[in-house]
Amino acid sequence: MKIFPRFRHPLWTHAAGAAVYAFMLYRLAVARLPERIPMHFDLSGRPNRWGSPSEFALFVVLLPLFFLAFGLVIDELWAGEERDRKRFNFFAPLDEFFIGLFATFFLSYVRDPGVVEKAGLAADPLLMAALAGGAAAAAVLLELMRPFEPSPPEPHASAAGAAETRERILSAARPLFWQAQDPAWMRILSPGLSLLLLAASVSILLSGGPAAVLAGVPLCLAGAAFMLVCWGGIRVIVNEDAVEVRLGYVGARLLRLGLGEIASVSVVDFSPLRDFGGWGIRYGRKKTWGYFLRGRRGVLLVSAAGKRYLLGSDDPERLAAAIEAMRERARTRASDA
């Protein structure tokens, strides 16, 4: 399964994080771990849940990998945004910083497990500065050294496709137009985060206090349910009455705009990061609601009341043609009546 056609952002910018991770794996392999290891801590840093050495090892192996994978995805999305010039990616040192921070606590523990059990979770400040600060600083340097490669422009659909869509909608008996954005990262993130949040709610239920259970469990379950609803991506449906935006296979309705309420339809270029601060369901610049999961082109709808909605699309010319043709049908129907 291809998430990206190829990586534009070089992987060597994560060398510092990978080095700290490799050192942690080495220390884990040679460490003599006790039978009972603190796995969860309360707000004062005291252990409130204990686990086995294998659970501890799994945690140490997987958590930095998650940080690295998250960093790779963010960096690649960032590189995709660099069309005309290189921009400093301030997300670049984040994964190295968190891996360094995690390594500090891990190394402090394996050096002397008894200290944590007696005095609570603590880390050597010098070690923290060296690992978290050093890894983050190295990541900043590597990011500055990264060469710039402009991302290719978005392909524009042919005008013939849009014209044919318009012609077919105008002559059809009961037309319906449907478009979806369902990228691979969403198909991974949606069930993955749902499972993580479900696991978190079970963990809180088993080990948390009454306040944590009351606040944390419903929050985690609501988050898991939302991520499951996102499975299937964002869908745009244009029928004879309205333009609808729906979420996932469940089809939760995010927007319904009657064709009569639409004042203008236009194909626009936009920057997900600059204009909306990311991907998904967003409220961005110029008081515009955005619904998109990939790409930098879409259809801007402005309602008669002045509200603005941007629908991301892999083929915005065709989507705009479909909306315009449906509006034309609606106007003809109204004048006939």
Partner 1 sequence: MLISLDDGDPRPLYLQIAAAVKREIFSGALKPGDPLPSVRELSAMLEVNLHTVHKAYRMLRDEGILAFRLGRGARVASPLRPPASPRSARLAVRERLRDLLAEAWCLGVSPREVLDMLAEEAEKQKAPQERSGSA
d(CA 320, CA 257): 14
Residue 290 CB, shortest distance to partner 1, in Å, is 21
Residue 26 CB, shortest distance to partner 1, in Å, is 37
Of the candidate spans 25-33, 37-45, 69-77, 228-236, the one that interacts with partner 1 by CB under 8 A turns out to be 228-236
- Binds partner 1 by CB under 8 A, chosen from 53, 120, 191, 223: 191
d(CA 34, CA 132): 26
Q: Is 169 in the site for partner 1 (CB under 8 A)?
A: yes
d(CA 92, CA 60): 22
- Binds partner 1 by CB under 8 A, chosen from 172, 199, 252, 304: 172
Token pair listed for 293: 């999961």
The dihedrals phi and psi of 124, each to the nearest 5 degrees, come to -70, 120
Q: Is 167 in the site for partner 1 (CB under 8 A)?
A: no
Give Cα separations from 46 to 37, 114, 117, 173 (angstroms): 12, 13, 8, 69
Helix residue spans in 183-315 (DSSP H): 184-207, 210-229, 272-276
- Binds partner 1 by CB under 8 A, chosen from 176, 206, 214, 215: 176
Q: Is 6 in the site for partner 1 (CB under 8 A)?
A: no
Token pair listed for 226: 């939302």
Residues in 307-336 at the binding interface with partner 1, rule: CB under 8 A: 315, 318, 322
Token pair listed for 307: 């509200």
- Binds partner 1 by CB under 8 A, chosen from 165, 194, 201, 288: 165
Q: Which is nearer to partner 1, 122 or 176 (CB)?
A: 176
Residues present in the chain in total: 337
Of the candidate spans 53-61, 112-120, 161-169, 269-277, the one that interacts with partner 1 by CB under 8 A turns out to be 161-169
| CA 174 and chain centroid, separation | 37
Q: Is 241 in the site for partner 1 (CB under 8 A)?
A: no
Q: Is 187 in the site for partner 1 (CB under 8 A)?
A: yes
Q: Which is nearer to partner 1, 54 or 158 (CB)?
A: 158
d(CA 322, CA 219): 40
Residue 80 CB, shortest distance to partner 1, in Å, is 19
| Residue pointed to by tokens 């422009």 | 153
- Binds partner 1 by CB under 8 A, chosen from 18, 39, 74, 180: 180
Of the candidate spans 20-28, 85-93, 119-127, 174-182, the one that interacts with partner 1 by CB under 8 A turns out to be 174-182
Positive or negative, the CA dihedral 62, 68, 70, 72 is negative
d(CA 75, CA 15): 14
Q: Is 124 in the site for partner 1 (CB under 8 A)?
A: no
Token pair listed for 187: 């198909």
| Site residues, partner 1 (CB under 8 A) | 161, 164-165, 168-169, 172-180, 182, 187, 191, 231-233, 235, 237, 239, 249, 251, 315, 318, 322
